[in-house]
Amino acid sequence: MGGFSAASAAERCAVGIHTSPSSPVSHPRSRRQQQPAPPVRRRRLAAPLAVSRRSLLVPHAVAASTDRASPEAVGRFNLESNSELQVTVNAAPQGAIAEINFEATNTSGSLVLHWGALRPDRGEWLLPSRRPDGTTTFKNQALRTPFVKSGDNSTLRVEIDDPAVQAIEFLLFDEARNKWFKNNGQNFLIQLPTSRNQGQGASGATAVPEDLVQIQSYLRWERNGKQSYTSDQEKVEYEAARAELTEELNRGVPLEKLRARLTETPESSERDAPASKTTATKELEKRASKQEKKKKKYSVERIQRKNRDITQLLNKHKPGVTKEQVQAAPKQPTVLDLFTKSLQEGDDCDVLSRKLFKIGDKEILAIATKALGKTRVHLATNDAEPLILHWALAKKAGEWEAPPSSIAPSGSTLLDKACETSFVESELDGLQYQVVEIELDDDGYKGMPFVLRHGETWIKNNDSDFYLDFKTKVTKKAKDTGDAGKGTAKAFLERIADLEEDAQRSFMHRFNIAADLVDQARDAGLLGIVGLFVWIRFMSTRQLIWNKNYNVKPREISKAQDRFTDDLENMYKSYPQYREILRMILSAVGRGGEGDVGQRIRDEILVIQRNNDCKGGMMEEWHQKLHNNTSPDDVVICQAIIDYIKSDFDISVYWDTLNKNGINKERLLSYDRAIHSEPKFRSDQKEGLLRDLGNYMRSLKAVHSGADLESAIATCMGYKSEELLQFVLDHVEDKSAEPLLEGLLEARVELRPLLIESSERLKDLIFLDIALDSTFRTAVERSYEELNDAAPEKIMYFIGLVLENLALSTDDNEDILYCLKGWNQAMEMVKQKDDQWALYAKACLDRTRLALASKGEQYYNMMQPSAEYLGSLLNVDEWAVDIFTEEIIRGGSAATLSALLNRFDPVLRNVAHLGSWQVISPVEVTGYVVVVDKLLSVQNKSYDKPTILMAKSVKGEEEIPDGVVGVITPDMPDVLSHVSVRARNCKVLFATCFDPNTLSELQGHEGKVFSFKTTSADVTYREITESELMQSSSANAQAGEAIASLSLVKKKFLGKYAISAEDFTEEMVGAKSRNIAYLKGKVPSWVGIPTSVAIPFGTFEKVLSDDTNKEVAQNIQMLKGRLAQDDFSALGEMRKTVLDLTAPTQLVTELKEKMLSSGMPWPGDESDQRWEQAWMAIKKVWASKWNERAYFSTRKVKLDHDYLSMSVLVQEIVNADYAFVIHTTNPSSGDSSEIYAEVVKGLGETLVGAYPGRAMSFVCKKDDLDSPKVLGYPSKPIGLFIKRSIIFRSDSNGEDLEGYAGAGLYDSVPMDEEDQVVLDYTTDALITDSGFRSSILSSIARAGHAIEELYGSPQDVEGVVKDGKIYVVQTRPQM
């Protein structure tokens, strides 16, 4: 993210030579403005000296200017949108006249040069005696010389004959318009060629040796207080030092005496030598020596990282966790808000334009409306002072035209070019305001310029007139349009939009406004902070105007910037849950340096493409490479493009630059995002590209030379890890990135306690951490090439490093840290030669991908709505809004990590013998390829021809749509998830493809006919003709179509509200309850069966018919009518309505008696509230009859939904260590000799529900139950755990019909909410202890085999493990 400094803010808005920050500028006018006065030359102040790149501490003497002998210097400056100034300085022989030529384009005939000359021996402007014709003196402080008008341009030539003059400084003044032109708030500064005064001079003295000039410049720096200098000031100061010594030589001082004084020989004296070698040369040497010792101390190849517990890096900051979120009080509308609302509520009133202006601490609102064919202008202000509106109308920009007397409001005074109208006092809801309303009679007017007057005091819009453009597109177009602003801090974003016009004046205004908004953002909560970030991000990526010709001093920008960042720092201290977003804002703003230059590389290439109309070809290929992995090669590529453009597009020059720097065509093609094309531009693009690429080169060099990091480090001098930071600087350009990455991480870890403890220098330390993070990402991208042929252990090590870096930048990083622990364990397994390492590492990789996907989804949901709404309010380019969140993600460590995972995935699959496919439902199919984003989005659709879906997302609970014969996905649903069982039941091909290239190829064949064949571990496919499709077997052609119609037997209430297990019959309960009762006493003693009671069929209908539930029954009947008309929105309302049921007293009595007699606890004994929790869980089970998935599934097989009855199985929850599902015949291969099972940590809902990640999976031969074989390790990040509680399980009469897999369609609801725990598999014995794992998995397999033998058919068994004991909670026939 681009950052902005006080010194660089103005520089970036200029197009030419940079000026000194200390140049004189006009102060911003106060609210009450008088006639402007011209700027006056003030004494030059010294500015800070830059810090050396390889030095943390040593400010050294400024270097000699590299362009001293330049024969010509050219400056080009923007004056206005269609006007610019070009300055050319002709080199002159030594001691001769220098000639400065000025040419201003598209100007008036009244342009004046307000100027003076600079000499090293004078602080004020020198007024040269050699002056152009027409020059006058202004207050004996400046010269004023008129330009000569020539066509649309104005020209002027100035000659300087004084060899001591080193530069001229000037401003431009348009006398006719009373308007000053400055260089972004600064005076223009033009250096004169130094060949005029650097040699012998007028007296023929010997040239001053460069070593003495350096010492003299150091002495000048000391006398000026050791401040820092800009690059322009360095040159001026260096030449001033030369001029001082030259003058001494010209006076006859011998060179030897001069050297003796500067280098402290015996003949020097205190009076002659303002500083000795001890204070100059020796000081430089001493500090350089100290720095050299540090270098030697850290000349080791790599640091030794400290052994730490990774969990010490844990952050679990979420809104409301560490500090109660401040709730925003309802915003009281201001009188101007009420005024706007009153206009908008008018009949047929359209707002044409609206502007809110600040006048001190008050505001004035200007609105143009159109109603009933009439255009009206309304001006309202909350200023209580008597005001007069001095106004006019304009048919073109800049025009002041007096209005016709017919439209002037009553009491107005018409002047020559304007009209004056007094504001009228008014009131809304008890709030006072003043207003003027004007009705126009001509649509030809473009706008209204105006100023305000209070007595004799004029009030202006800073330096300019106020102006309301009637034709401006209303930025509030997205307001009040249904869902616009949903998921955002809407009111806060609209406040930002109101203030944007004022913010566009300058960075000073923007940062001050941002500081004013910080408290409002905080009060709006997380979305308010996000809204502030989105606004600042739009600014940093140049989507918003930076400056509207407003003159402001860099120190004023810096002051506003410091105020804003100080407020952010304070929030960082008090609200740790917002730190991640606050870092992003700070990174975009910058510390007063360049902010996150690494991110700016990604942002600015987009701006270059857009501004110069070069979005395709080589520039787009380079853009993609930069986003994927910027490297030092990009510096060379950028230079090659610049050289190519400068050569008038000679392509051989482009290749020559590349080849000289070791880059050939093969290397360009070797990048992950290859560059195939050559640059090709138009001649009209030349100037803009050279300018923008020149600026871009600075960003590239700052990143790849470490300059940005160095400036951040220099700001934190005295920080305890200074020696570690020196190591980082010494290795920042190393070709091998690994030692650098270790050093950067160690530095960030050392820094972390200070960031948490809110130290005094917190802001500087945050910016240092941002720079370390940015440098880390760049170094990783640079290292991609060295990883091409790296061993798996090295790639895993790099993945671990990137994960650690990501964790250090993330507020809620628990999942990321456990991923990191997993990778560390995988590396340990490699060292121990564990043959399971690749299989385990694949699970780590899958979990890490899930963590990244979750982070991306979190960012999108959090940021994108604000980007879209604020973007619409501010008219930001649509493309920039569309990619907003994507660019944030691509610029962070998550994108770098994703790239590494993509590289490593095929390596792991190869080592673990996993192949590119996992076949979940092996079926041979043919059909038309159709690509969809989510299976969920099409689950209720019917396809009229055999269709094979390429679904990018499959969660596990979806239905297979009618007409679908195959589903291919990169997602990893569990083999025993609902959608997997449904696919096998419907004879639909279902497979996961791990190879992105294969997936991309198949997606590219959308609409074509393909044939797929499977084995247990692979899928083959080929394109076929439509005639071959027609010839395929009828069984295959109809695969995936709706299953033949099934029927249900309507169940009746048989007089009991609750029954115990011995009463479980087909008329009373479903197969789930009956099976669990059947198992009791028949399974081996080491298999536990939980005690159960049930609420039988018909109970729901009985409760619904009770008089206390009459209104609920009526509502349900009405909703059923809507469902009959295919109004599926009634499903959600139906579920809510069921929750309004009241429990009959008899139901409560009977259920209590049955539970207690069965040895189960009765919730009501704890409290009435506990019973209400249980009753709510029962109602949720009944309500699940109307969940969308179940409803559409029954429609698909033409089941009569009214006949579907729901009994409820009541069991005490076993607080499980693990949960499992067994299929006693392998579902993927159909092998009946092999048991397949999946195991998760905690409760089984994460296995059967749509929880992300994979369970542990294994197979076990029935003739060798002691030898389970692990197929995959778990990647599920979440486990569910619960205290002692009761679960109410759905048990309908539609779940186990023959040929229909209805299991899992309806909900089982625990009385208490489960605790979600982020899982650390490195401490789980099932993963780390092979003996324990073999024992548990064997026991699970034995239980499944025993139940299969009991029933005599393949079984689908669910159970849990608690303290090593197996419990079976249900079984059903395997589908």
Catalytic residues, by residue number, are 978
Tokens at 1077, concatenated:
């009762």
| Paired tokens of 20 | 């000194």
d(CA 1250, CA 977): 8
- Asked if residue 57 lies in contact with residue 717, where contact means CB atoms within 8 angstroms, the answer is yes
CA angle, 481 then 486 then 487, to 5°:
165
Query: Under DSSP, is residue 417 helix (H, G, I), strand (E, B) or coil?
Result: coil
C-alpha–C-alpha distance, residues 589 and 514, integer Å: 11
Amino acid letter, 478: A
**Under 8 Å between Cβ of 1097 and 1051:** yes
Closest CA to 501 of 593, 366, 634, 633: 366
| Residue 1209 identity (one-letter amino acid) | L
CB 1185 within 8 A of CB 1206: yes
Instruction: Bin 567: left if φ > 0, else alpha if -120 < ψ < 50, else beta.
Output: alpha
Of 1366, 1365, 1364, 1362, the closest CA to residue 1217 belongs to 1362
User: What is the CB neighbour count within 10 angstroms for residue 990?
Assistant: 29
Contact 319, 526 (CB under 8 A): yes
Q: Kindly report the CA angle at 164 between 162 and 166, in degrees rounded to 5? A: 100
Q: How far apart are alpha carbons 789 and 791 in whole angstroms?
A: 7
936 and 1188 Cβ atoms separated by less than 8 Å: no
CB 459 within 8 A of CB 833: no
State how far the Cα of 1308 lies from the Cα of 1244, in Å rounded to an integer.
Answer: 11
Alpha helices for 921-1048 (secondary structure H): 978-985, 996-1003, 1026-1031, 1034-1037
Ranges of H-type helices in 875-950? 878-882, 884-890, 893-911
CB 1196 within 8 A of CB 1338: no
Beta strands in 316-416 (DSSP E): 349-359, 362-371, 374-381, 388-391, 413-414
Both structure tokens of 1135: 């579920």
Is residue 958 left, alpha or beta, with left meaning phi > 0 and alpha meaning psi from -120 to 50?
Answer: beta
Number of residues that make up the chain:
1375
Tokens encoding 598: 């690494």
Beta-bridged to residue 1207, according to DSSP, are: 1291
What is the C-alpha separation between 1081 and 1066, in angstroms, rounded? 20
Cβ-contact 1112, 1137 below 8 angstroms: yes
Tell the residue number behind the tokens 């247990």, with chain if given.
1016
* Helix, strand, or coil (residue 425): strand
**Contact call for residues 1370 and 1244 (beta carbons, < 8 A):** no
Q: Report the distance separating Cα 902 and Cα 802, nearest Å.
A: 14
Contact between 227 and 47 under an 8 Å Cβ cutoff? The reply is: yes
- Please tell me whether residue 712 adopts helix, strand or coil conformation: helix
Do 732 and 791 meet the contact criterion of CB atoms below 8 Å apart? no
* Alpha carbons 1250 and 1246: distance in angstroms, whole number: 7
Residues 6+ apart with CB under 8 A from 501: 355, 356, 357
